[in-house]
Amino acid sequence: MEDIENILPLMEEEEASDISKLLYKMKDKLLGINAFRIDSLDRMHRIYAEFIEYENALKQRYVANMNITFSYCENSLILASGSVFVTGRGSYQSKIVAKNRIIFKDPKSVVLGGMLVAGKGIKAGIVGSSTGVSTYCKIVDADGKFDAVYCYPNTVLKINDKKAESLFLKRDMGV
């Protein structure tokens, strides 16, 4: 639920609102003190049915895998249904989300602050900064791979549910 809540600001307003309502119902009815008040499975079945209905609606919105290529971004939001390829200087204080991979082609490219979220993997040059700017990198796939030339402190790496804060990490980092 925490990961979903972190991505809500990146979604379209209507979709984020729908997901927020479902998350609220889950938290309110299934977790915490209210979970002890469930007197029948009907409530749980209704919430489950809403999730299934929402999942089916999302499946109907098929989006082809589309890649995005750019050389530099700053204070940007980039969403790709395929992969993202960065060919130049890098990414500064930006949010980049890709269904497949995020690949910085230049080993001297910089990811300074912001957030990278990829389905299968991230390959980058220099991540973070010597001044301690917080940079968040997440790979959703449990078998995903993070590869960086160098990571500074305050870089948070997360592959599936395994989390590690970097301390001058080296290439081919597996968390």
Q: Say what the pLDDT of residue 166 is.
A: 46
Judged against a pLDDT cut of 90, whether residue 3 lies above it is answered with no
Q: For the chain, give percent helix, strand, coil, nearest 5.
A: 30, 40, 30
8 confidence band (pLDDT: 50, 70, 90): confident
Q: pTM above 0.75?
A: no
pLDDT of 164 higher than 70: no
> Hey, which residues does 145 pair with through a beta bridge?
121
Q: What is the pLDDT of residue 174?
A: 42
Contacts of 40 (CB under 8 A, 6+ apart): none
Whether the Cβ atoms of residue 112 and residue 93 lie closer than 8 Å to each other: yes
Q: What is the rounded average pLDDT of the residues 163-175?
A: 48
Contact 62, 80 (CB under 8 A): no
